[in-house]
A and B are shown apart, each in its own frame.
Chain A
Amino acid sequence: MQVELTVNGRRRTDEVEPRLLLVHYLREVCGLRAANVGCDTTSCGACTVLMKGAGEPGGGTSVKSCTVLAVQANGQEVTTAEGLATGGDLHPVQAAFRQEHGLQCGFCTPGMVMATVGLLSENPHPTEAEVREGLEGNFCRCTGYHNIVRAVLAAAQADAGTEVGA
């Protein structure tokens, strides 16, 4: 089947089989390998990206791309971690993760960052409890979540909001 998606601002048309998961479409077809597959049960969030309908306002909502078919994303706009930074500068959320040492092995990080961008777009000034709840769909084994929470709160302070790079 043919699908047309806008990925990180670029329109593309591809031939895919219906069962192709969006995460594999992004990795294998688009060559965007930041999103990872960490589980089989839509639990871990390592595959999180932002998605929205064409013309909808905002940067998109966070979705687990392992549980979206590429064909379901036909006509949608998808943003991955690779699409966040603008002109070589880190997106404020990425910068906050670095500043607060919110990543160690990096495997959960792209998904965690995208979930954070999504969270802050819906709740720009979360409490710590709201951050932890907001990231309940993103697992990390390395950091114990402590510095991830700090990174999200720091990004909120810096008013990261809905900024999504081109």
Chain B
Amino acid sequence: MSILGTRVLRTEDPRFLTSGGVYTEVGVDERLDGACHVFFVRSPVAHARILGVDVSAALKAPGVIAAFTGADLADLPPVKPAPMFNRAMTRSILPADKVRYVGEPVAIVVTEQAYQGEDAMELVDVDYEVLPAVVDFGSAADNDVLLYEAAGTNVATTFGDPDALDEHLFDDCEVVTTRTILNQRVAPAPMETRAAAAVWDEDGRVTAWIPNQGAQGTKGGLARLLGLGPEQVHIITPDVGGAFGAKFGADPEHVMVAWVARRLGRPARWAETRYENLVAMTHGRAQQQTVTIGGKRDGTVLAYRLEVIQDSGAHLRIGAMLPSLTILMTPGPYAIPRAESVAISVVTNTTPVGAYRGAGRPEASAALERAMDLFAAEIGMDPAEVRRRNLLPKFTEPHRTTFGALYDTGDYAAALDKVLEAAGYDELRKEQAERRAHGDTVALGIGLASYVEITGMGDGEEQPPQENALVEVHPDGTATILTGTSPHGQGHATAWAMLASEQLGIPVDKITLKWGDTDLIPEGGGTGGSRSLQHGGSAVRQAAQELIEVARERAAHELEANPADLRFDVERSAFEVAGDPDAAVPLASLAQEERLFVRTVFTAPGATFPFGSHVAVVEVDTETGKVVLRRIITVDDAGFVLNPLLAEGQRHGGIAQGAAQAFVEEVVYDADGNPLTASFADYPFLSATEVPSFELADMQTLTSYNPLGVKGIGEAGSIGATPAVQNAVIDALSHLGVRHIDMPASPQRVWQALKAAKENS
């Protein structure tokens, strides 16, 4: 019986449960003995010229070793935006001229002890010439206030041509409806905030401990920003307490910690507070979307247009380019004859926007699923029926959309049917009708979302997606795997061990996984975009298979037999001569004289496309506007499920974050760019009481793109849950005339929508 597909408990857990994970802030390493502590003085204003930074008082505070301003870091190269962006939107690691968001670092203070830092920071005096702030990204493109004067605009880039929209797109539609909606800014808020520790050797090489989602990418980023060759940087990855897209590459703070260590000639460390994390770790989402959808009264959708304004925040990070993925996934799982989308990315005086679970694809689904419900409401058809009529029919050969995405396999209607059945959809509609007939003040809402999403993307058409793995068997019967992925909760140590165990016959608990040390593993794509299992896992399996073939040659020599006559018995983890079990040699023994290992690279033909459908059931108190999430039922089909325990955990986490965006969480700024949700007391971070237990239905439509048949599951839950919950809230109130409520459906927003609907009736 294969171990694949079984619920193997995590080998990681005993350590996490007893002594706890070792995260960067508490890591102990003799190379960091005597480390100084780095603190960042941050701008309290959203947009200002820096007239002067006076650190003289701070330098006299107890324990202060040094203090630095932007002028001190002038030796660092300027940070240029990626080629697709306005090239004049260049900035510095530590600004000397102006600040562009509340929380941007303006000075560095370094102390002997951690407790001395905040005392010293209070004494740094910064003179600002406050400038007007542009916070409303709908009007940022008006360019009344510019963040980067040299750029002459706040528009960083455009996707498609907003001036070349097809004015005839909806000509043959009996019904057309349009709406501008908000996919609001949220904070990834992993439980572990950012941190770094760095030390240089005499050869000018830096070793840095940084929580990340891909050590190799962080190494490249740190090297580039420090103006070093990559061989001068060594990244070590401690345990990482969650990331969700916001710990890719290198942040300015990481660079500055390394710079301080070099400047002072001693190790340096930093760990951010939650306030810093909520204002200076990249945010997620932040798109304004205008959806226009048209079709026939029989439910056929004929045309769909999506226009996006992406709020990139003050710096051009990953978020600024995510509209390209939103656009790619415009039509979702539907067969829409004509669809078009365009986007612009603008800079604003707010925290830079990065990737956040789903990164561009949840935005596409949320817009599309809202549009489908708006259309359904317009023609008075049940939202499930509208979806059923428009979903692409089942396909097993790759299907290319008009947007250039090549969906590998899909059976969207089956996912919809399955989730409707699991939810008891018809009974729910009946209950809803009864409550409405009774005039119940607690309204029941049922929301749907069907989605398809892209996982395991490569780096463009020229570079197909790939990942490397090294598997080694040791003479003592244990094994080690080196992976280019970068787990931070996903359980790769267990999952990759399962894959190796299945091939090698070595028990899971005798297999150790290593990752995240760039001297040990120079190449790797990290963990993000739901790539790890399909690429990294496939690589592990392939390496183990190739190792068996290397071992076979040794065994043949040992047994003086023909390799073709040997059989590898996984149960015994031994080679035997076919038909003669006593003539056998254990796999581990073949490592005695010479190391037994294989490094391989697995290359996939392309990205895969998991899909699913979600049903959310909410109750809305129509007197107060409070939303209670009663049930979420989901189908998330990501192909073969290697370890149901881990896959379910990924779905749960994604569903919770997706639901949180729909009705609980939001980052809020006032008109001057002051963040109003910069603590866990103010930012409505989802707690256990806001969500129910989830109901997961199982569906596995394999892909042909890798031998395991797996697609990526990590982000799927968040992509389906957000629109399902949002649609459910609006559905609850549709009989009262409510057609749309922007996210999050906070009590006040719901109450205001009810009031407006009442006034309009």
Contact = CB atoms under 8 A, between A and B. Distances in A.
Determine direct contact between A and B, CB below 8 Å.
Answer: yes
A41 B680 contact: yes
A interface majority secondary structure: loop
Interface of B: 9-10, 12-14, 16-23, 25-26, 114-115, 189-193, 239-242, 244, 273-275, 488-491, 645-646, 648-649, 652-657, 679-681, 685-689, 691, 693-694, 717
B725 to A, nearest CB: 13
Interface string A132-159: 1101101111111111111000000000
A105 B688 contact: no
A81 interface: yes
Interface string A28-66: 000001111111110110100000000000000000000
B653 A143 contact: yes
Contacts of A150: 693
B14 to A, nearest CB: 7
Interface string A105-138: 1111110010000000000000010011101101
A105 B242 contact: yes
A101 interface: yes
B192 A38 contact: yes
Nearest to B17: A94
Given A34-B19, A90-B18, A105-B489, A41 B244 contact: no
Contacts of A38: 191-193, 274, 680
Contacts of A39: 274, 679-680
29 contacts: A33-B19, A34-B19, A36-B20, A36-B192, A36-B241, A39-B679, A39-B680, A84-B18, A97-B17, A105-B190, A105-B241, A105-B488, A107-B191, A107-B241, A110-B17, A132-B688, A133-B688, A136-B689, A139-B685, A141-B657, A143-B652, A143-B656, A144-B655, A144-B657, A144-B694, A146-B691, A146-B694, A147-B648, A148-B688
Contacts, number: 176
Nearest to A133: B689
Given A101-B646, A132-B688, 20 more contacts: A19-B115, A33-B19, A33-B20, A33-B26, A40-B679, A41-B680, A43-B680, A43-B685, A101-B9, A103-B13, A113-B17, A133-B688, A133-B689, A136-B688, A138-B687, A139-B687, A141-B189, A143-B656, A145-B691, A147-B652
Contacts of B244: 141
A14 interface: no
A81 to B, nearest CB: 6
A133 B653 CA distance: 19
Contacts of A140: 191, 688
A27 interface: yes
A69 interface: no
Contacts of A36: 20, 23, 191-192, 241
Contacts of B21: 105-107, 109
Contacts of A17: 115
Nearest to A100: B645
Contacts of A2: none
A7 interface: no
Report the 5 A-B pairs with minimum CB-CB distance, sorted nearest first.
A34-B20, A144-B656, A107-B241, A104-B489, A105-B489
A13 interface: no
A3 interface: no
Contact of A106 (B20, B274, B645, B648): B20
A78 B612 CA distance: 47
A42 B16 CA distance: 23
Interface of A: 17, 19-20, 24, 27, 33-41, 43-44, 46, 81-82, 84-85, 90, 94, 97-99, 101, 103-110, 113, 128, 131-133, 135-136, 138-150
A36 B193 CA distance: 11
B157 to A, nearest CB: 31
B612 to A, nearest CB: 16
A81 B648 contact: no
Given A33-B26, A34-B19, A41-B679, A141 B694 contact: no
Nearest to B656: A144
Contact of B693 (A44, A106, A142, A146): A146
B679 A81 contact: no
A103 B191 CA distance: 12
B118 to A, nearest CB: 11
Nearest to B490: A104
Contacts of B488: 105
Contacts of B680: 38-41, 43-44, 139
A107 B23 contact: yes
A106 B239 CA distance: 9
B685 A107 contact: no
A144 B689 contact: no
A81 B687 CA distance: 22
B653 A142 contact: yes
A101 B191 contact: no
Contacts of B273: 40
A117 to B, nearest CB: 12
